[in-house]
Amino acid sequence: MSLLSSVERAPRDPILGLTEAFKADDRSTKVNLGVGVYMDEAGKVPLLKCVSAAQQQLAEGRAPYGYLPIDGLKEYDDLVAGLVLTDPATGQTVVSRDRVAVVQGLGGTGSLKIAGDFLRSISTNGKLLISNPSWENHNALFSRAGFEVQQYPYYDPTGHRVDVDAMVAALGEAEAGTVVVLHACCHNPTGYDLSDQDWARVEQVVRDRGLIPLLDMAYQGFATGIAEDGAAVRRFAASGIVFVTTSFSKTFSLYGERIGALVVACTDADEAARVLSQLKIVVRTTYSNPPTNGASIVATVLADEQLRRQWEAELAEMRDRIKQMRTALVSGLAAARGDIDASHITDQNGMFSYSGLSKNQMVRLREEFALYGLDSGRLAIPALNPANIDRVVDGLAQVW
Ligand code: LMR
């Protein structure tokens, strides 16, 4: 008997494990509609021009690679706080920088993990709520951080909409001190976001009940625009404590750089300093300090007016292409089979579409048509392009 003989084989990851299966499939017609990665019209992960220009500037500067501070590159942290919290109406952040604790994180997931570990250490009841449904990794990540994870109602599959009444009612019964994970925009996996009025109701109940809001914002700019998509975060920051995780994987197409941040709006500067000191302990005992390159690229772009404008234009291009593919999918399905009404797909935001297909239908899509979407019925729309849309429509029409 070896020490490890009783170790069980874990199931593959529902999202990244699907990419492994996709890679192993040798059918030339295959399409990866699983993972949330933006691909351009040619089916490639783009290198944004603003990123290329920043890389060039950085290469010319040839800075040595020392350790970054535990909380990351200072300029990056400041710029990210600005990006996340600036009110477009005033040009000012909704809370002053000294009231905000920021740590550079390893993408959105790494930032959620720092938040999860810290929040668990101060939690009074060990409870955390996620939406039903939510990103697959939320449950796994927060459970592993030691939380008892439960769900609040979110998606109404018959009406193809958010059931905000049920959501608000459930939050109204949650125990004080419970952490509530909310998707700031581009809800993953459904694509259905809250309206401004819905957000006002959710914020009210979160504050009234003394819940702790944690807003996951991995797609700022993929729904409507940088400022618009940040509205929920600013609303919460203006009314009290809020934890916000952000990621530049998708918005800067910097997936492999693992670059994101945790931003915590606190009550005052002293509180922010104390929170930051604890977040630094979480980072130090997890990976010591973060990597340099992604933060330098993002900071270079955000600090330079022209590069920032270019970034916003490139982000808009990605957003618009996804919207075009949604429209093409809906009209393709209607043309392929008159009885399919997939019009809900154009009501959704961001990278994902909750198609409404069952696990059996998704398995058929994979086995018979080499179309790899998640078992939950989630489809990654940026995988679509003019060369594969007919094939995808055809497969979907046959299992719909
Ligand atoms: C997704 O939901 O597909 C992305 O957020 C990628 C990931 O890490 O799961």
pLDDT of residue 57: 96
Determine the straight-line distance between the first and last CA of the chain, rounded to whole angstroms.
49
* Nearest CA owner, ligand 1 atom 4: 36
List the chain pLDDT tens, one digit each, 400 residues. 899 999 999 999 999 999 999 999 999 999 999 999 999 999 999 999 999 999 999 999 988 889 999 999 999 999 999 999 999 999 999 999 999 999 999 999 999 999 999 999 999 999 999 999 999 999 999 999 999 999 999 999 999 999 999 999 999 999 999 999 999 999 999 999 999 999 999 999 999 999 999 999 999 999 999 999 999 999 999 999 999 999 999 999 999 999 999 999 999 999 999 999 999 999 999 999 999 999 999 999 999 999 999 999 999 999 999 999 999 999 999 999 999 999 999 999 999 999 999 999 999 999 999 999 999 999 999 999 999 999 999 999 999 9
Instruction: Give the CA distances from residue 241 to residues 30, 115, 184, 391, in Å, rounded to whole numbers and listed in that order.
Output: 46, 13, 15, 48
Pocket flag, ligand 1, residue 137 (CB < 6 Å): yes
**Which amino acid does the sequence have at 315?**
L
* Nearest CA owner, ligand 1 atom 1: 36
Catalytic machinery residues:
135, 216, 250
Closest atom of ligand 1 relative to the 13 alpha carbon = 9
For ligand 1, the distance from its centroid to the CA atom of residue 373, given in whole angstroms, is: 12
For ligand 1, the distance from its centroid to the CA atom of residue 15, given in whole angstroms, is: 7
For ligand 1, the distance from its centroid to the CA atom of residue 289, given in whole angstroms, is: 23
Instruction: Tell me the best of 113, 137, 181, 185 to mutate to test the pocket of ligand 1, counting ligand atoms within 8 Å of each CB and taking the most.
Output: 137
CA atoms of 92 and 243, how far apart (whole Å) = 19
- Is the separation of the CB atoms in 345 and 384 below 8 Å? no
Bridge-based pairing state of the strands 242-247 and 260-265: antiparallel
Instruction: Tell me the best of 13, 35, 250, 372 to mutate to test the pocket of ligand 1, counting ligand atoms within 8 Å of each CB and taking the most.
Output: 35
User: Which burial class, exposed, middle or buried, applies to 58 when counting CB atoms under 10 A from its CB (0-12, 13-18, 19+)?
Assistant: middle
CA atoms of 199 and 184, how far apart (whole Å) = 10
Bridge-based pairing state of the strands 100-105 and 260-265: antiparallel
Q: Which residues contact 96 (CB under 8 A, 6 or more apart)?
A: 269
- Is the separation of the CB atoms in 365 and 396 below 8 Å? yes
pLDDT of residue 78: 98
- Is the separation of the CB atoms in 368 and 29 below 8 Å? no
Instruction: Give the CA distances from residue 79 to residues 42, 286, 325, 331, in Å, rounded to whole numbers and listed in that order.
Output: 32, 24, 32, 41
pLDDT of residue 62: 83
Closest atom of ligand 1 relative to the 35 alpha carbon = 3
* Nearest CA owner, ligand 1 atom 2: 36
pLDDT of residue 212: 98
Pocket flag, ligand 1, residue 15 (CB < 6 Å): yes
Pocket flag, ligand 1, residue 112 (CB < 6 Å): no
Task: Look up tokens 């993990």; give the residue.
Answer: 113
Pocket flag, ligand 1, residue 192 (CB < 6 Å): no
Backbone angles phi, psi at 202, to 5 degrees: -65, -45
pLDDT of residue 64: 86
Closest atom of ligand 1 relative to the 135 alpha carbon = 2
Q: What is the 3-state secondary structure (H, E, C) of the chain?
A: CCCCCCCCCCCCCCCHHHHHHHHHCCCCCCEECCCCCCCCCCCCCCCCHHHHHHHHHHHHHCCCCCCCCCCCCHHHHHHHHHHHHEECCCCEECCCHHHEEEEEECHHHHHHHHHHHHHHHHCCCCEEEEEECCCHHHHHHHHHCCCEEEEEECEECCCCEECHHHHHHHHCCCCCCCEEEEECCCCCCCCCCCCHHHHHHHHHHHHHHCCEEEEEECCCCCCCCHHHHCHHHHHHHHHCCEEEEEECCCCCCCHHHCCEEEEEECCCHHHHHHHHHHHHHHHHCCCCCCCCHHHHHHHHHHHCHHHHHHHHHHHHHHHHHHHHHHHHHHHHHHHHCCCCCCHHHHHCCCCEEECCCCHHHHHHHHHHHCEECCCCCEEEHHHCCCCCHHHHHHHHHHHC
What Rg, from alpha-carbon coordinates, does the chain have? Answer: 21
Would you state the structure tokens that stand for residue 320, as one six-digit string?
Answer: 């618009």
